[in-house]
């Protein structure tokens, strides 16, 4: 949010500099993120002066150039080479002196220096409109009035207005500070200056105007309509245009400028209707089925049944709190205006803005809650301004209210406040701060009853009042005794963190990339799933549930990479999924991996090798080892991504995916690392060929081997698998190698034979046949 210092000081006169104001606001909670000067013309026309062309002749070495001498009020005339076709002797012109920076729209800036142009010296530049920022024309140089004083700074000639603009990073809870008036309120308390936030408590007495009806009290708390007649549309006063431009708003006609001006001054959104285009009574209601509205920007929208609209007898004419309609907009022929100042339901306005992808200055403030108590003040200021600067007559008022809001009251214990603050804040200072911020104070010894003003929606409990006093009093007043006190945590989660980091590092070492995807998903990804966690106020229909799986987000990342010609995509994410349970909600830490494309690129010696089940299985086995788990890859489901997910992500082809709750596979007791010397004695290998059922896995055969518990057996491996004749259908031959070692002595054939006999008997007992 941008704040003009000139505008701010017109509300709260102060000698404080822009930097001082910036520092005060930042330390009190309104953080100033950026501060920059603003000029009504270009960059303030620094380095530009009025000059007079004393001579102008053709360039001896260039047909299209002119060699001039220019008087800029100095001791000597300046030689300047100019290429403009309209330059002539006797003209008063705008000259950029040596060292002046030229900034042209859409081009890089450059600095004027002394130069030789085709052999002729040039010590400056005679400027066109776009070269100084005075306009957009580049057809020729800018010729000034003949009475312009030679040597006068261009900023004085054009009456350049200057300002300093603060950009404040406004937090969502500080809707009260979304205006110059709100910022001035805080600044007055910081500077200890008296300040009247509201100058008009009530509207001036006028005849009753057009009928206004609020269909449902929940939709609109208060609606004020001012009726102005005989307005003359023209430009606004310079101070209005300059202040609007300073905060980034391009001025239009004086009526529209008035609504924008007082929105940013008071924080109260308002809208002007052409009164002659309205038909009958105004109604604040919800949109009806199949209603449409063409907005001010020309965009046609289909209204939702939960959209608040302003309607007349012809139908909707505005999307309440967001944007007006084109049909009743102020135009060049407007003479009579109905000015709307209202308080719409914050949540419904926010949903409408999100639903229709509209973010306006009005919705920004309605979403945070505007001040009902300030509405008459804002309406009066705008009404008097229209009457004065648009030559109009304020002829009528209409006002509808659905109830008077109750004043919130909070009990404040001064002793508890000081205990919270860590120092003794004088009672007089506490009272001053609260009163200057707009709070009402009813004192009774140490216990105060504090009334919260309508513009402070963020203050509801005593601690909020403590913070208000502290931020204005200054956190720098809290004494430091030189001692650092801290409570050390138990670090119970460090073991999990280490396991997670080992798992991450393993996957990264294998060439995979870690992704971080949105935890909000569209419910369309999960058809028929009943335990989804829906959001109460989703940002959009594309993000209406908390994710029930990490895989959809990763699939969208796969699609993003495929569209950019990636040949292989291997991603993983460590995150949480969310499900609804009988007792509430459940968050589960999960690991998800997706694989697409080639794991081995095409080369001169081999074709590309695509990812398959076994490639993914190796990754899973590696993860389990990194976690110290005794589980096998068979305990984890490896599958192809569902077709409906591939379709939603717009992916053609196969994507392998794995997702599992990784914490369940962590070995609770870490093994102690052992260091052993290299074996002194040679080992021995024996091979064995088995005929087993075709669907029997190596893991099952390995389980048979482990069940015998042979101390001399170091390892067992598969080195060949065969299917086909002479084996029967449904059979396969598996060749295993067994590696034996005795660390204490040399192995003998007899020892190994005994081990092999036990193995063969065990295999045969399990249904295998030993091939001789």
According to DSSP, the residues that pair with 514 across neighbouring strands are 572
pLDDT of residue 492: 58
For the domain spanning 408-477, the CATH number is 3.30.56.10
C-alpha distances (whole Å) from 602 to each of 264, 454, 606 are: 62, 70, 6
Same fold, 2-40+162-191 and 408-477: yes
| Cβ atoms < 10 Å from Cβ of 709 | 8
d(CA 444, CA 235): 55
* Angle at the Cα of 298 from the Cα atoms of 293 and 299, rounded to 5 degrees: 60
CATH placement of domain 684-770? 3.30.70.380
* Dist CA 771 CA 734 (whole Å): 10
Question: Residue 307: its pLDDT value, please?
Answer: 95
Per run of 10 residues, the mean pLDDT along the chain (length 772 residues) is: 95 94 93 93 90 95 93 94 94 94 84 93 93 86 94 93 94 91 94 86 90 94 95 94 94 95 95 96 96 94 95 96 96 95 94 93 92 92 94 94 87 92 92 93 89 91 94 88 68 77 93 94 91 86 90 95 93 95 92 92 84 91 88 88 93 93 77 75 92 88 89 92 88 93 90 93 90 80
CB 448 within 8 A of CB 391: no
**Listed residue (747, 736, 765, 677) closest to 711, CA to CA:** 747
Q: Does domain 212-401 have CATH number 3.40.50.1100?
A: no
In CATH terms, the fold of domain 2-40+162-191 is Phenylalanyl-tRNA Synthetase; Chain B, domain 1 (3.30.56)
What fold, for 48-158?
A: OB fold (Dihydrolipoamide Acetyltransferase, E2P) (2.40.50)
Q: In degrees rounded to 5, what are phi and psi of residue 686?
A: -130, 140
Give how far Cα 230 sits from Cα of 157, 393, 474, Å.
Answer: 36, 6, 51
Compute, in degrees rounded to 10, the torsion defined by CA atoms 46, 47, 48, 50. 120
Strand residues in 353-417 grouped as ranges (E): 393-401, 408-413
272-288 exposure pattern, b = at least 16 Cβ within 10 A, e = fewer: bbbbebbeeebbbbbbe
Domains of the chain, residue spans:
2-40+162-191, 48-158, 212-401, 408-477, 494-665, 684-770
What phi, psi does 442 have (nearest 5°)?
A: -120, 105
- Provide the edge-to-edge strand list for the sheet that holds 545-546: 520-521, 545-546, 533-534
Which residues lie below 8 Å from residue 494, measured CB to CB, with a gap of 6+? none
Q: Are 6 and 243 in contact (CB under 8 A)?
A: yes
Predicted pLDDT at 670: 53
pLDDT at residue number 673: 66
**CATH code that applies to domain 494-665:** 3.30.930.10
Provide the angle, in degrees to the nearest 10, between the axes of the packed helices 427-436 and 180-191: 160
β-bridge pairing 48-59 and 92-96:
antiparallel
Please list the helix, strand and coil fractions of the chain in percent, rounded to the nearest 5, in that order: 30, 30, 40
Between CA 258 and CA 244 the distance in angstroms is 10
């Amino acid at each position: 949010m941008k704040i003009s210092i000139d505008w701010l000081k017109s509300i709260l006169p102060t000698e404080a500099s822009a930097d001082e104001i910036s520092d005060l606001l930042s330390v009190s909670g309104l953080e100033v993120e950026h501060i920059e000067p603003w000029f009504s013309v270009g960059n303030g026309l620094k380095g530009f002066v009025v000059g007079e062309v004393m001579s102008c002749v053709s360039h001896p070495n260039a047909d299209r150039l002119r060699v001039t001498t220019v008087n800029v009020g100095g001791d000597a005339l300046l030689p300047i080479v100019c290429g403009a076709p309209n330059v002539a002797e006797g003209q008063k012109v705008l000259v950029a002196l040596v060292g002046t920076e030229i900034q042209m729209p859409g081009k890089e800036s450059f600095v004027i220096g002394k130069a030789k142009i085709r052999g002729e010296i040039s010590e400056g530049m005679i400027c066109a409109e776009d070269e100084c920022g005075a306009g957009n024309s580049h057809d020729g140089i800018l010729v000034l009035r003949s009475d312009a004083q030679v040597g006068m700074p261009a900023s004085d000639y054009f009456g350049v207005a200057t300002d300093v603009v603060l950009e404040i990073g406004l937090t969502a809870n500080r809707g009260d500070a979304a205006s110059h008036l709100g910022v001035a309120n805080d600044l007055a308390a910081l500077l200890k200056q008296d300040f009247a936030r509201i100058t008009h408590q009530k509207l001036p007495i006028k005849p009753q105007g057009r009928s206004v009806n609020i269909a449902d009290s929940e939709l609109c708390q208060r609606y004020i309509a001012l009726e102005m007649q005989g307005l003359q549309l023209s430009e606004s006063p310079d101070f209005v245009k300059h202040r609007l431009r300073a905060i980034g708003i391009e001025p239009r006609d004086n009526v529209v400028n008035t609504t924008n001006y007082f929105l940013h001054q008071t924080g109260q959104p308002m809208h002007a209707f052409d009164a002659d285009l309205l038909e009958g009574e105004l109604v604040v209601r919800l949109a009806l089925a199949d209603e449409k509205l063409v907005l001010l920007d020309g965009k046609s929208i289909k209204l939702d049944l939960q959209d608040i609209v302003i309607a007349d007898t012809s139908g909707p004419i505005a999307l309440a709190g967001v944007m007006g309609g084109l049909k009743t907009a102020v135009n060049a022929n407007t003479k009579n205006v109905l000015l709307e100042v209202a308080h719409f339901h914050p949540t419904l306005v926010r949903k409408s803005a999100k639903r229709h992808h509209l973010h306006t200055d009005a919705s920004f403030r309605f979403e945070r809650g505007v001040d009902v108590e300030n509405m008459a003040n804002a309406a009066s200021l705008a009404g008097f301004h229209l009457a004065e600067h648009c030559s109009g007559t304020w002829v009528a008022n209409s006002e509808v209210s659905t109830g008077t809001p109750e004043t919130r009251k909070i009990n404040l214990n001064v002793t508890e406040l000081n205990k919270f603050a860590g120092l003794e804040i004088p009672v007089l200072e506490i009272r001053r701060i609260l009163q200057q911020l707009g709070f009402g104070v009813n004192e009774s010894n140490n216990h105060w009853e504090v009334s919260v003003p309508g513009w402070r929606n963020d203050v509801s409990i005593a601690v909020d009042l403590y913070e208000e006093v502290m931020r204005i009093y200054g956190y720098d007043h809290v004494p430091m005794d030189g001692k650092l006190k801290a409570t050390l945590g138990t670090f119970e989660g460090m073991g999990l963190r280490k396991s997670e980091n080992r798992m991450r590092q393993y996957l990264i070492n294998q060439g995979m990339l870690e992704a971080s995807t949105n935890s909000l998903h569209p419910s369309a990804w999960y058809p028929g799933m009943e335990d989804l966690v829906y959001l109460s106020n989703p940002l959009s229909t594309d993000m209406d549930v908390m994710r029930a799986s990490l895989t959809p987000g990763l699939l969208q990342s796969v699609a993003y990479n495929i569209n950019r010609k990636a040949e292989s995509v291997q991603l993983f994410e460590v995150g949480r999924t969310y499900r609804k349970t009988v007792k509430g909600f459940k968050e589960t830490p999960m690991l998800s991996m997706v694989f697409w494309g080639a794991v081995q690129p095409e080369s001169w010696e081999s074709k590309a090798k695509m990812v398959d089940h076994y490639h993914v299985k190796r990754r899973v086995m590696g993860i389990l080892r990194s976690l110290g788990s005794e589980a096998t890859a068979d305990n984890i489901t490896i599958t192809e991504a569902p077709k409906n997910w591939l379709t939603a992500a717009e992916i053609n082809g196969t994507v392998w995916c794995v997702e599992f709750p990784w914490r369940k596979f962590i070995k609770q007791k870490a093994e102690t690392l052992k260091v052993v010397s290299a074996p002194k004695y040679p080992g021995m290998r024996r091979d064995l060929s088995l005929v087993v059922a075709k669907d029997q896995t190596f893991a099952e055969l390995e389980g048979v081997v482990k069940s015998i518990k042979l101390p001399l057996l170091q390892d067992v491996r598969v080195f060949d698998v065969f299917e086909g004749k002479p084996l029967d259908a449904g059979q396969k031959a598996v060749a295993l190698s067994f590696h034996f070692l005795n660390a204490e002595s040399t192995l003998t054939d007899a020892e190994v034979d005994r081990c092999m006999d036990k193995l063969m008997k065990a295999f045969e007992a399990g249904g295998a046949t030993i091939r001789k």
